[in-house]
Structure 1
Amino acid sequence: MLELLGNRQQELLKLLLKHKGGLTLEELSEYLKITRNAVRQHIAALENSGIVTQGVSRPSGGRPEQLYVLTDEGKEFFPRNYSWFAQLMVESIAQESGVEGLREKLNSMGVRVAQQLLNQNSMLETREQKVEKLSEVMEELGYNTRSFSINGDATTIEADNCIFHNLAMKNPEICQFDLALLSTFTDSTVNHEECMAKSGNVCRFKFKAKGE
């Protein structure tokens, strides 16, 4: 993500990553070898994007100096190899408990997350409302989803991006987490009609009342 920014802004963010307590406009100007006004313009743009924010003010013997720091979103611009750690976890569980044990663990995780979401969204009553909310949650997580129903058919969620794609390609059991989450949250039977981990163009989940 860092490469989406200009060179100066990349350098500025790297400085703030290195100096966790924050830096002033003057310090950034000195490090970057550009004017204070130029730094201010970069900071303003990064603040508007939610990448940088004002930190604490540092006493200076006169007027306090304003420090600028990375936001949590800004920190995510730097590579973090979560997928490598997730792969280690999945392989460890599979080695200790077997494939079926892995599926059971993922199912339990999905159910637990769904119950947490239900507690946070107790006002939802119908299956359609729950599916719509679930689509919003998945969108926020990066699935790039849409929910729809055609000619009164079962409500469906389609996702163009699977946030577990590489992991699911190596361990198809990962999809059990999604299915348990979707089923528990909506109190539905979920048909996984298409899956990107199985060469599909999208991940498509169709929700039906249990027993249908």
Structure 2
Amino acid sequence: MLEGLGRTQQDLLNALLHHAGGMSIDELADHLSVTRTAVRQHLAALERDALVLRGETRPTGRRPEQLYRLTDHAREQFPRQYQMLASVLIEEVADIIGPDALASLMRSMGRKLALDREPQVVDETRIVQHMNQAGYEAEVFFRSSDDKEIVAHNCVFHRLAATHPVVCELDLALIGALGGGEVDHTECMVRGGNVCRFKLRPLVEKASEPDNSGPSDRTDRADDSPD
């Protein structure tokens, strides 16, 4: 986002980054070598964009000075290495517990995320709403009333999933838990697809195994016993 700002506004935000307690208009004007009027104009624009806010005032010999500082939103525009941290964590966890347990952990995380969002099973339209709140840019495609699929145009873990495909297990578990079913991942951007496609299907209950120790067997064994 900082790339979309002018050079002076970028320099102003960078100055505030290095002065966490805030800076006054006079200090910013001196630092940027611009007029106080120019600083006020830039601050007004940055306040509208929720990048700068008014902090505390600082007492002086005259009127107190208003200090300006970065918002949390502005701080997130500077480089972050969440991707690197997540990648290292996944590698370390895989080394400790093994790939199968890691996949199980991802599914558990997906189910927890689902439960945090919905206490009960919901339909595809509601699932997509939750996905879009997380940035998936998803939508429901209706092939027929009984044939629907969820299509995500943005993979929020794309770079991470490219090196650690097990991350996709979280997505599948999230969607499956929200929808109360199994999920077929029919297309995946990490595997070369243009989008990620998910198709919900009902859970298949395992058939109970037949009881091989019925009454007749017990009777036969009893008859074979010596008197």
Instruction: Normalising by structure 1, report the TM-score.
Output: 0.87
Is contact 1:135-1:147 (8 Å) kept? no
Is contact 1:58-1:64 (8 Å) kept? yes
After superposition, the C-alpha distances for 1:42-97 in whole angstroms (9 at most, x for unaligned) are 11111111111222222224432221111111111111111111111000011111
Task: Tell me the SS of whatever aligns to 2:22.
Answer: coil
Instruction: Normalising by structure 2, report the TM-score.
Output: 0.82
Which structure 2 segments of 5+ residues have no match?
Answer: 206-227
The Cα shift of 1:204 comes to: 1.6
The residue number in structure 1 matching 2:166 is 173
User: Is 1:199 equivalent to 2:204 in the alignment?
Assistant: no
Is contact 1:161-1:202 (8 Å) kept? yes
Match of 2:140 among 147, 152, 165: 147
Cα RMSD between the aligned structures? 2.1
1: distance between equivalents of 2:147 and 2:45? Answer: 44
The residue number in structure 1 matching 2:106 is 106
Residue 41 and residue 209 in structure 1: after superposition, are their counterparts in 2 closer, same or farther (change >3 A)? farther
The residue number in structure 2 matching 1:87 is 87
Is contact 2:140-2:149 (8 Å) kept? yes
Task: Tell me the SS of whatever aligns to 2:199.
Answer: strand
The residue number in structure 1 matching 2:178 is 185
The residue number in structure 2 matching 1:127 is 123
The residue number in structure 2 matching 1:65 is 65
2: distance between equivalents of 1:60 and 1:7? Answer: 31
Which structure 1 segments of 5+ residues have no match?
Answer: none
2: distance between equivalents of 1:115 and 1:109? Answer: 10
After superposition, the C-alpha distances for 1:131-171 in whole angstroms (9 at most, x for unaligned) are 242233233xxx33333434324443322221211211111
The residue number in structure 2 matching 1:38 is 38
2: distance between equivalents of 1:199 and 1:38? Answer: 49
Is contact 1:158-1:204 (8 Å) kept? yes
Percent identity for Structure 1 against Structure 2: 42
